[in-house]
């Protein structure tokens, strides 16, 4: 049996190859297949690690959950909430829980190190694609033909009255709506692959199998670790397009999310982030 220290390295190497293949193809269907394969491999490897954990539960150096700080962006940068949404969507498909800093500048990821590594690799690739696709949409000017309904307040006869008006969609509104839809679609795609792999690994008639029990033990261990270490004081509500809703931009973002191919792959052997305990009250909720 492969040792627990070899499995994560082998898994990351294979995922890196799939990311590079996705980058090098201009074929939408091939890119889709590589993305699904990357998520399938990550999920399958996680299952293998879970089985290994169950077998070495009594060993001194068995894998345990960690907390890692994931940088999202500098304070004041626009669109950080949609970046967070993308990371959280990826994390949900890879058995990683998240707390979000109040400023959306960083995410506190809780999970096994190999699962968090997978999230970071996928996030780095998909973030490039999301930003590039939204830039192209804005530069195309397509959003200018749409309108958004707004509520404006006016003074009439000495009192304030509100009325709804149709206004052109602002670029920032279109970008936020585009990226929100893109991230949501990526989350749906990865979740579908995860569900398919787990259904194959744990058939309904084998609910008490070693793999099923290992997955359950992994979930319990992660839940206990998160409960003991998280200081989130609420639930992260996700990005809000406060400037308005643009159905056209969301449709465009959803299409881009369906056709997304992975962007630039990170160096998978880069140093891992240190286990850092966040200061009390540093986040606005869990995701």
User: What integer is the mean pLDDT of 122-144?
Assistant: 92
pLDDT attached to residue 111? 94
Evaluate if residue 215 carries a pLDDT over 90. Answer: no
Determine the 3-state secondary structure of 262 from DSSP. coil
Please, are residues 18 and 43 in contact by the beta-carbon 8 Å criterion? Answer: no
What angle separates helix 171-201 from helix 247-259, to the nearest 10 degrees?
Answer: 40
* Calpha distance 39→15 (Å, rounded): 8
- Residues 99-112: tens digit of each pLDDT: 999 889 999 999 99
Please, are residues 88 and 119 in contact by the beta-carbon 8 Å criterion? Answer: no
- Name the pTM for this structure: 0.69
* Calpha distance 11→49 (Å, rounded): 10
Evaluate if residue 278 carries a pLDDT over 70. Answer: no
User: What integer is the mean pLDDT of 121-146?
Assistant: 91
Evaluate if residue 40 carries a pLDDT over 60. Answer: yes
Which region holds residue 285: left if phi is over 0, alpha if psi is between -120 and 50, else beta?
Answer: left
- Residues 49-97: tens digit of each pLDDT: 555 555 444 444 567 899 999 999 998 888 899 999 999 999 998 999 9
pLDDT attached to residue 51? 58
User: What integer is the mean pLDDT of 11-37?
Assistant: 75
Domain ranges for the chain, please list them: 6-141+171-286
pLDDT band of residue 169 (cuts 50, 70, 90) is confident
Evaluate if residue 268 carries a pLDDT over 50. Answer: no
* Calpha distance 53→63 (Å, rounded): 7
């Amino acid at each position: 049996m492969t040792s627990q220290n070899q499995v994560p390295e082998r898994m990351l190497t294979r995922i890196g190859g799939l990311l590079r293949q996705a980058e090098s193809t201009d074929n939408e269907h091939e890119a889709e297949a590589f993305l699904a394969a990357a998520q399938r491999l990550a999920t399958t490897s996680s299952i293998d690690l879970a089985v290994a954990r169950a077998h070495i539960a009594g060993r001194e150096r068995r894998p345990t959950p960690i907390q890692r700080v994931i940088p999202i962006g500098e304070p004041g940068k626009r669109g950080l909430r949609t970046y967070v949404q993308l990371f959280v969507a990826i994390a949900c498909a890879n058995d990683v829980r998240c707390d979000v800093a109040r400023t959306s500048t960083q995410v506190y990821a809780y999970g096994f190190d190999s699962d968090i590594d997978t999230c970071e690799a996928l996030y780095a690739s998909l973030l490039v694609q999301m930003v590039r696709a939204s830039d192209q949409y804005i530069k195309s000017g397509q959003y200018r033909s749409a309108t958004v309904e707004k509520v404006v307040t006016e003074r009439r006869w000495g009192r304030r009255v509100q009325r709804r008006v149709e206004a052109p969609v602002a670029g920032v509104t279109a970008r936020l709506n585009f990226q929100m839809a893109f991230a949501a679609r990526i989350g749906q795609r990865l979740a579908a692959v995860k569900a398919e792999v787990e259904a194959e690994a744990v058939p309904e008639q084998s609910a008490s199998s070693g793999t099923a029990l290992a997955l359950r033990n992994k979930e319990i261990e992660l839940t206990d670790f998160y409960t003991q270490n998280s200081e989130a004081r609420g639930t992260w509500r996700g990005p809000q397009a406060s400037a308005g809703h643009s159905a056209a931009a969301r449709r465009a973002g959803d299409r881009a999310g369906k056709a997304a191919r992975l962007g630039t792959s990170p160096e998978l052997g880069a140093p891992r982030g240190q286990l850092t305990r966040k200061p009390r009250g540093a986040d606005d909720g869990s995701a």
